Structure 1
Amino acid sequence: MSTFISLLRQHQQAFEQQYDNKLNHDMRSAIHAMLSCQTQQQQQVKWRCTECEHSEQHPISCGHRHCPQCQHQTTSDWLMRQQQKLLPTHYFMVTLTIPYQLRALARYQSKAFYKILFGVAQSTLKDFAKRQNKGEMGFTMVLHTHNRKRDLHPHLHVIIPAGRYDNVKQVWHKGDKHYLFNEFALAKVWRARLLDAINHHDTLVLPQQLPRKWIVDCRHIGYGEHALQYLSRYLYRGVLPDRDILKVTSNSVTFRYRDGQTNQWKIRVLPPLQFIWLILQHALPKGFQRVRDYGFLRGNAKTVRLRIQQLLMTVTKWIAPIQEPIRGKAKRRCPCCQHDMQYAGIIRLS
């Protein structure tokens, strides 16, 4: 069992009493799902072997995206899909941040706030690309809700291939590997548009004092593969992996994190209830998409994307990634004869 789920089960009553006024519906749903994940209270899935008649029953996983015991297949599937979209060109990563004064909106009105965050970010980037007047840009946008210490710190990572595609002339315009956008100008527009969008929302209210300068980072990251692997670690495997929880006592939880400045491991110690809140505050609204593709990287632009890859294959020695099928049926190997077992249905426990 996951260390975090074990902690949650042990301290559930005390935690819900202490944080009752802070818990929203999505957090409570996450708690319920994780506590029932792979337990005897869940329905059971039955497997049988057609060769030796061996059969097994296993508790069903909850499938919740914040559960540390689930979603490992989802992570590998997402990474494979993104790798199939890679182009033989330089990539940039743009990081759009918000000041800490807006984090209360992310915590208590997350669905409305994050929707605005994505909308403003994608329109701002598209408008900056139009100024270069060289065709359509493609990019993948990922929402991260925490910093390395796991405090609430919403920000957007955007992976962008350096180049544009002219769909009319069917020409690829190579980008500059040393420059994408002016990050200071991007930060000013990002700030102005986001504040304006929040001001025009029916329920979101801006705090009185906000910094005049916001931080936007725009940097060259090589050929994209490394950035995709980095982002995939934090998408579907929970906020903190078990391997980083070093020690659990009745009074404290010790976990490690890697410092962003020194790249060295550091230690953080919290009381159990505070640690549980630290993790659960990152629960996202049901159905909310934290990863989105735009331009020629969007899902329904496969034909355009393949055309771009073919164009680039003619000028480089690059070989397009194999379009492997994603996510087949679940499989299980028989422990007796090593043949594939057959799914035999769901057993509903009374």
Structure 2
Amino acid sequence: MDHPSSRPALEVADVFRFYGAQYKTQQQGHLSLHQLKVMSAIERCRSAQLGGHQLHCGKCETDLIAYNSCRNRHCPKCQSSAAKRWLKARQAQLLPVEYYHVVFTLPEEVAQLAFYNKAHMYDLLFSAASQTLNTIARDPKHLGADIGSTMVLHTWGSAMTHHPHVHCIVPGGGISLDKHSWKSCKKGFFLPVRVLSRLFRRLYMQGVRQLYKDEQLQCFGKLAGTTSFNDSSKFNDWTRAQQQREWVVYAKRPFAGPQAVLAYLSRYTHRVAIANSRLQKMDKYHVHFKYKDYRRKGNNMHKVMRVDTDEFIRRFMLHVLPNGFHRIRHYGLLGSQTKLKRARQLLKVTEPEPVACSGESEASPAPFTCRQCHSPLTIMAITEPIYRPRAPPK
């Protein structure tokens, strides 16, 4: 449940409410039960169907109703509060070092195959990216240390097309291989992206070949013919051809301190395919939304795209993750409390105090505050939900 607040004029939920039934009829037999549940959750989010609280402000006599949230991880309305909760838990992991942002992206044809095999190939994207970072970082020619990383999977481009990539937030250094010192990167430089790219594409395509050998992959449409999917020797030729292409691994400039990392993560960790704020208008046949054309520079990047309502829903549904799939993962010293504790010792950083449990003596903020006078709101009544969605995986 979220605090009652002003809403955008148009929401993804509005598109689903007006055109979702028609889309489900047209796609009957092609949408999974999980995708149907995502659509239903977004349609009902913060509506009377999920119940809510009747609130009253004793100071300015304002009365209002706060409807409950669906808490589905694909819902644009539910991600702000989820991000705040997640970031609060991550603050204790911050180290007083430079942080870097590295992006690993799948090329177009490999991304097409990943679309038909989301669980396996998205998993492989995480494992190949983490193995690449760890291998190059451990090499004494580069850093010679065990590092850590937090990775976030995004599967979309600005126009909601399928574009799988992982954003990696990495401390600029690590624990030396003998575990006796902290080794920092050269200031302003993490690891060579060309070396990362070469190893990443080799590891990823090795993983694809293994998945194919284990009969874990499927392929449809034009790509099946292009890859000669049913002929193992030709499929392996296709994977080797993909491995010869340039793969995009991008390292951005270091963040301006650990707090800037948190600000960045708050925008990236719980992002969905499109935010409600990007929607412009909707008519009987089309949805208009803002996007960035990265082929242009400056203000010319920002454009408005018009797509059919069915196409808008189709693009949104491309990015529904497999049920139970974890899109935020921690590796190395950021995935181990023991290693993180050792890193703090080497950096001479005091251990963070444990989060205090809420008690009667602890002053906790009011769950709701008045939009008019910012005073605490009193819960006068609770409306039970008609529909109870299942909580999403963390």
Map Cα deviations across residues 179-210 of structure 1 (whole Å, 9 max, x no partner): 33232222222112111112212321583445
Deviates more, 1:324-333 or 1:195-204: 324-333
Give the deviation of 1:277 after TM superposition.
Answer: 1.2
How do 1:191-340 residues align onto structure 2 when only pairs under 5 Å count? 191-201=201-211, 202-204=215-217, 207=227, 208=235, 209=238, 210-211=241-242, 212-213=244-245, 214-223=247-256, 225-226=259-260, 228-260=262-294, 262-264=297-299, 265-298=302-335, 300-301=337-338, 302-311=340-349, 331-333=367-369, 338-339=375-376
Map Cα deviations across residues 291-343 of structure 1 (whole Å, 9 max, x no partner): 112222226345335435535x9xxxxxx999877998981247999446469
Distance in 2 between the 1:160 and 1:189 partners?
18
| Structure 2: runs of 5 or more not aligned | 1-6, 220-226, 228-234, 359-363, 388-394
Distance in 1 between the 2:42 and 2:311 partners?
18
C-alpha distance 231-333 of structure 1, shift in aligned 2 (>3 A)? closer
Q: Is 1:69–1:237's contact at 8 Å kept on the other side of the alignment?
A: no
Q: Is 2:174–2:343's contact at 8 Å kept on the other side of the alignment?
A: no
How do 1:83-94 residues align onto structure 2 when only pairs under 5 Å count? 83-94=91-102
Q: Is 1:177–1:220's contact at 8 Å kept on the other side of the alignment?
A: no
The partner residue of 1:118 within 117, 120, 126 is: 126
Residue 171, structure 1, aligned to residue 181, structure 2: yes
Distance in 1 between the 2:205 and 2:177 partners?
34
Partner of 2:231: none
Partner of 2:103: 95
Residue 15, structure 1, aligned to residue 23, structure 2: yes
What RMSD over aligned residues (CA atoms) do the two structures have, in Å?
A: 3.7
Distance in 1 between the 2:56 and 2:281 partners?
40
Partner of 2:152: 142
Q: How many residues align?
A: 343
The TM-score normalised by the length of structure 2 is 0.74
C-alpha distance 309-341 of structure 1, shift in aligned 2 (>3 A)? farther
C-alpha distance 349-187 of structure 1, shift in aligned 2 (>3 A)? closer
Distance in 2 between the 1:57 and 1:179 partners?
51
C-alpha distance 50-255 of structure 1, shift in aligned 2 (>3 A)? closer
Deviates more, 1:212-221 or 1:2-11: 212-221
Q: Is 1:163–1:175's contact at 8 Å kept on the other side of the alignment?
A: yes
| Structure 1: runs of 5 or more not aligned | 314-319
Deviates more, 1:8-17 or 1:131-140: 131-140
Q: Is 1:79–1:229's contact at 8 Å kept on the other side of the alignment?
A: no
Give the deviation of 1:274 after TM superposition.
Answer: 0.4
Map Cα deviations across residues 63-113 of structure 1 (whole Å, 9 max, x no partner): 101112213211123334444433333232221111111223333321122
Q: Is 2:149–2:331's contact at 8 Å kept on the other side of the alignment?
A: yes
Distance in 2 between the 1:246 and 1:238 partners?
17
